[in-house]
Amino acid sequence: MTDPIGIGVAGFWHVHADDYARDATEHPATRVVAGWDPDPVRRREGAERLGVPAVDDLDALLAHPDVDAITVTTATDEHTDVIGRALAAGVPVFTEKLLAPTVAECEALIESSRAQAAPLVVSLPRLTEPLTVTITQLIDDGALGDVTYARVRMAHDGWLGGWLPERFADPVAAIGGAFADLGCHPAYLVQRMLGAAPEAITAAYGHVTGRAVEDNAVVTARYANGAVGVAEASFTTTPGAFAVEVRGTEASLLYGYGREELIAKGGGFGAEWTPVPLAPAQPTPFELWVDAVRGVADAADTAANLQAAIDLTGFVVAANRAAAEGATVTIDTGGTA
């Protein structure tokens, strides 16, 4: 595909809909050409913001003569239907996390993507940022020894500042609260640092603002080798709350905690906390998807993205169940992507 790829925006439910439209506008190989949402008001307002035509239904979007691929930012509970229909029509999809509400649905969508040769990529952006690239390289190189503990916290003031839409409090549409949305990032980062499949998950969900879904969450993952991972998310925290802590048998890493740089101590880093230069960023998930649509992406990279999406879904589903039941649960690992 040599001409600019025409992107249709499927859904303005999620706050990242305009972000992905901006990515499509700024990328030299893509352009936004149309928008749709099942809600007439969101459909009209979203299309007006982007300056593109609004189409009345999903079938019309998929059949639009200028639409070559779509971004999906509908409510999470609509992902399986919307993404499934697009892939069945041979239309490539870039989607906001979670890919789908269950591991089985994720695997079915991925199989459809393969069968129809329609590239599917999930937005897991923190995996390709310089901080994560650097931390994972150090872990993979053995610079920390055996990693025994990883903690990642992401939080914002969405329900303190009043800017996060109330639809994120719908437990059906969002399939959860703070952890099913913002908590996805700490979850997949912990999985990248310690492993995709911990042997047990526990969770504590809080309702600071009294909404139907959690707005404050801490999830703990226990691994067979004794390592422990902690993934935290909150919609009720003042800014500046992103933090990463990784501890190994030889050295440790910190980011945040009042110091917005990666620092290391122990092992080859020495006895004092020392700043660590960051590696370059890797291609973003959106860039990976565009390359896949153009037929130039590394198949191993797209496969890794989809496997991480399956693993993430299993983690979030287990966390939601653990919180609901007040129990320790295991992750549904499904098959492989």
**Positive or negative torsion for Cα 169, 228, 336, 297:** positive
Q: Are the C-beta atoms of residues 152 and 232 closer than 8 Å to each other? A: yes
d(CA 285, CA 305) in angstroms, rounded, equals 8
Q: Do you know the residue count of the chain?
A: 337
How many beta carbons lie within 10 A of that of residue 117, not counting itself?
A: 10
DSSP 131-150: HHHHHHHHHHTTTTSSEEEE
- Run of H or E residues at 7: strand 5-10
Per-residue pLDDT of the chain (337 residues; tens, 9 = 90+): 558 999 999 999 999 999 999 999 999 999 999 999 999 999 999 999 999 999 999 999 999 999 999 999 999 999 999 999 999 999 999 999 999 999 999 999 999 999 999 999 999 999 999 999 999 999 999 999 999 999 999 999 999 999 999 999 999 999 999 999 999 999 999 999 999 999 999 999 999 999 999 999 999 999 999 999 999 999 999 876 899 999 999 999 999 988 899 999 999 999 999 999 999 999 999 999 999 999 999 999 999 999 999 999 999 999 999 999 999 999 988 864 4
- Run of H or E residues at 239: none
Query: 5-124: what CATH class?
Result: alpha beta
State the pLDDT at residue 337: 47
State the pLDDT at residue 335: 66
State the pLDDT at residue 3: 80
Q: Are the C-beta atoms of residues 46 and 34 closer than 8 Å to each other? A: no
Sorted by where each begins, the domain ranges of the chain are 5-124, 126-283+315-325
CATH superfamily, domain at 126-283+315-325: Dihydrodipicolinate Reductase; domain 2 (3.30.360.10)
End-to-end CA gap in the chain: 25
